[in-house]
Amino acid sequence: MRRLTACLIAAIGVLGGAGSAAAQALDWDNLHHSAPERYTVVSGDTLWDIAGRFLESPWQWPELWRENPQIGNPHRIYPGDHLTLHDCDGSPCVKLERGRNVVKLSPQMRTTPAREAIEPIPLNITRAFLNDHRVVNEPESLDELAYVVAGDDRRLISGAGDRLYARGRVSGSGRFGIYRMGEAYLSPEGDFLGQELEGIGEARHVRTEGDIVQLEVLKARREVRNNDIVLPLESRALVSEFQPRPPLNDIEGRIIAAPGGVRFIGRLQIVTLNRGTLHGLQPGHVLRVEQQGEQVHDPRTQEVLQLPGEEAGVVLVFRPYDQVSYALVMRASRPLEVGDRVHRPD
């Protein structure tokens, strides 16, 4: 299975730049205990889901995919395709059998219906989140950001179609994002790591007079209020072909927040980590989550003992900033919490 993972990763390419770990040969111990001999891809599957059926560590999928030279893009897997488990020179591998899936229109004509390849992870979740959240890295820059000072006709609240006024530097004349201050991300020692901004809507530049800018609200997910921040829209291009892989360097950090203030975090929820690009994280990096063990009293000595931590899940980084990253929970064997440790998989 690992060899399938490495080959698929190679086919997908490095997500976010160079730095993929070298593939290692799989052995049969790497397979999931209930790995099927044959699996038919269905609509709604993701590469991660399928990999989890075969592998104990789903991010090792490309290492298992190496016996399909006839397929130009091995990561393009479609509903209806059949995956079969084989022995390839003593190591497990998976081969793809692609059915014709043709529809007969007349005795002389056949056509293949358009199909969408399955996604590597549930990208709809991460795309929606990135539309509503971003991080400002420098605390001193917050006071320099343009902000809403009034709505048209002295409105305190504005919505789509309304015009409003902002004060400050608004570069360019295109579309802008309107944001509201969210959570200030801090390290366990209290150092500033980044300021979360929650997306409120989008606006276009109308005119500028001195340091006052008139904007027209194009979209509003919530009402726009005075003191909301105006910024050029962040490039939200999300690489759709994730290369799940461990970081090259040893990374250890913590879950420091769950957007929305959720206490118990489960699969396919988003978390904020206190590690980012300055620590070596890139989109597609996989980290294990470990929950701290309980403190107990020794029944003989009455000493307070710290029990070992327990593995609790896996997260995949999809949007790193300088010192923090947003990650998607791909697996949770128990409810995760803010404060749980994350680290590079073995």
Which of 282, 297, 301, 288 is CA-nearest to residue 331? 288
CB 71 within 8 A of CB 65: no
Distance CA 283, CA 325 (A): 9
pLDDT of res. 63: 72
H/E segment holding residue 41: none
Q: Where are the alpha helices (DSSP H) in the chain?
A: 2-12, 47-54, 123-132
Give per-residue pLDDT as tens, 127-155. Answer: 888 878 899 988 777 788 899 999 887 77
- CA separation, residue 76 to residues 4, 22, 107, 119, 241 (Å): 14, 22, 30, 9, 10
Domains of the chain: 32-97 (3.10.350.10), 126-232 (2.40.10), 252-343 (2.40.10.410)
Q: Is the pLDDT of residue 195 over 80?
A: yes
Range among 36-40, 116-120, 168-172 rated most confident: 36-40
* pLDDT at residue 163, as a whole number: 93
Could you give the CA distance from residue 162 to residue 166 in angstroms, rounded to a whole number? 13
Q: Each residue of 68-109: pLDDT tens digit?
A: 555 555 567 888 888 888 888 788 888 888 764 433 333 433
Q: What is the mean pLDDT of the chain?
A: 81
Sign of the torsion angle spanned by Cα atoms 7, 10, 15, 21? positive
The span from the CA of 66 to the CA of 24, in Å, is: 12
- Could you tell me which of 14, 95, 22, 9 has the C-alpha nearest to residue 54? 95
pLDDT in tens, 301-313: 999 998 888 899 9
Q: Which residue has the higher pLDDT, 8 or 199?
A: 199
Find the range with the poorest average confidence among 16-30, 142-156, 289-303: 16-30
Mean pLDDT score, 194-221: 92
Say how far apart CA 35 and CA 21 lie, in whole Å: 25
pLDDT value at position 236?
58
pLDDT value of position 115? 59
For 111, 170, 176, 187, 226, the CA distances from 157, given in Å and listed in that order, are 54, 21, 18, 35, 7
Residue 243 has pLDDT above 80, yes or no: no
Q: Is the pLDDT of residue 171 over 80?
A: no
pLDDT score, position 2: 37
Length of the chain: 346
Burial class for 92, CB neighbours closer than 10 Å (0-12, 13-18, 19+): buried
Whose tokens are 């005075």? That residue is 226
- pLDDT at residue 82, as a whole number: 87
Q: Is the pTM of this model over 0.95?
A: no
Q: Looking at the predicted structure, is the pLDDT value of residue 14 above 50?
A: no
- Range with the poorest average pLDDT among 54-68, 217-231, 289-303: 54-68
